[in-house]
Amino acid sequence: MAQENHYDKPRQDRLLTTLQSVLDLPVIDLKETLHQAAQFVTQALGAEKVDVFLYDPSTESLIALGTSETPLGKKEQAVGLDRLPLAERGRVVDAYLTGKLYWTGQAQNDPNELKEIKEELEIKSEMIIPLSVNGEWRGALLASSRRANAFTEQDLRFFEVITRWIGVTIHRTELVEQHMNHVREQERQIAAEEMLTVMAHDLRNYLTPLKVRFDLLERRAGQDVQEPYARELRLAHQTLTRLDQLVVNLLDIARLRQGLFSLNLQPVDLVELVEELVPIWNIPHHPINIQAPTTLTIKADRDRLQQALENLLSNATTHAFPDTPVQVSVAQEVRNGRLWGTVTISNQGPGIPQDLLASLFQPFVKGAQSQGLGLGLYVTQRIAQAHQGTLTVQTEVGTMTRFLLTLPVDPT
């Protein structure tokens, strides 16, 4: 195999220029970045093809996301050798799996190289360097030539350096992509919140007189002893109450963003409030069982606390299996030398998928079967936090879900 002890000056300058070009690559689109890097390195080495292979777990293959625009590169893509399944092995896969480089000028005689690479692409010289991204093996760089002994030891050393820098470039690009995705998601949420806030204000204008009319009809039905009508009106009123709660949640999203979410703290009997709210959601298909002391007074914003409990009760009855009860428990406990009031609301239901748990308390996050907008739990958690309390969840898929609202008896 041909060797050189040093680079001639023009070649050394070309390699340094290539390294600088790789460092200057834009970090916006990963595939385009790797494509340009492959092109630069091909020209610097005088190779006939350079590939940047990255592992794709969905296909358990190494895929050339960057390949130089050369006749050999185009032929590789045409015959499908830009995708290398791990199961078929070969030198590129071996380098990725073992973390060891490979260098040869006689690939046609290597029994461990893929037959298609030797015969269809007629490759004789190869340099393969495992690609590390942020300390993790992610793929490999491959330089190829149909000439025997095309690459020198100095070429190999340069290729090692350039591979490390491409790993850094990939990491930078992925971080930028993650940041941009995060920014886009934030912009999408802000736009959605602005639109929904406007809609919520308009809905509130219609709901207020409608609630007054329902109250009037309920009273008249009760006075005329029209119990069937009174019962239907109560059910309709409950639906209207839920719709009004949705509007409140929508408006609270904007208040939370603008820092206008405030509390009016006063003594509140937590047991009394729970017993007042439960009948609204207590229906034959989902009877609600309450376990509570006679009284438990805490210092809280009654309206906000009612809003939080309504969200949890609505959520529990909506996602419970048919004809199963919902359990509500109110208790007092001492934790870290401080007195706390707790409300536990649990149901028997499909549970919450694990992939949803991490973002469950984010706005507009909901399960596939949810009918709502994914706002209730977000607002409820923020109400708990504003009281210096917590909202946590335990779930078992296919069995149950339990929400625990914990509030200090006397927030400081």
Of 163, 180, 197, which closes a domain?
Answer: 180
Domain membership of residue 226 (yes or no) is: no
Helix (H, G, I), strand (E, B) or coil at 7: coil
CATH number at residue 296: 3.30.565.10
Domain membership of residue 207 (yes or no) is: no
Residues 243, 369: Cα–Cα separation, whole Å:
19
Domain membership of residue 270 (yes or no) is: yes
Domain membership of residue 118 (yes or no) is: yes
Q: State how many domains the chain has.
A: 2
Give average pLDDT by consecutive 10-residue segment, the chain, 412 residues: 48 61 62 82 88 92 91 92 92 94 93 92 94 90 94 87 83 78 70 58 58 68 66 66 66 61 87 90 84 94 89 88 93 90 94 82 63 71 90 89 94 74
pLDDT of residue 359: 78
pLDDT of residue 343: 96
CA 244 to chain centre: 30
pLDDT of residue 245: 64
Examine the domain organization and report whether 170 and 270 are in the same domain.
Answer: no
Neighbours of 376 (CB within 10 A): 23
Decide: 183 and 191 in contact? Cβ < 8 Å.
no
Of 324, 305, 322, the C-alpha closest to 379 is 305
Decide: 351 and 400 in contact? Cβ < 8 Å.
yes
Burial (CB < 10 A; 0-12, 13-18, 19+), residue 216, is exposed
Domain of 158 in residue numbering reads as 9-180
pLDDT of residue 3: 43
Token pair in block for residue 264: 């009016």
CATH number at residue 92: 3.30.450.40
Of 150, 94, 109, the C-alpha closest to 126 is 150
Of 152, 180, 208, which closes a domain?
Answer: 180
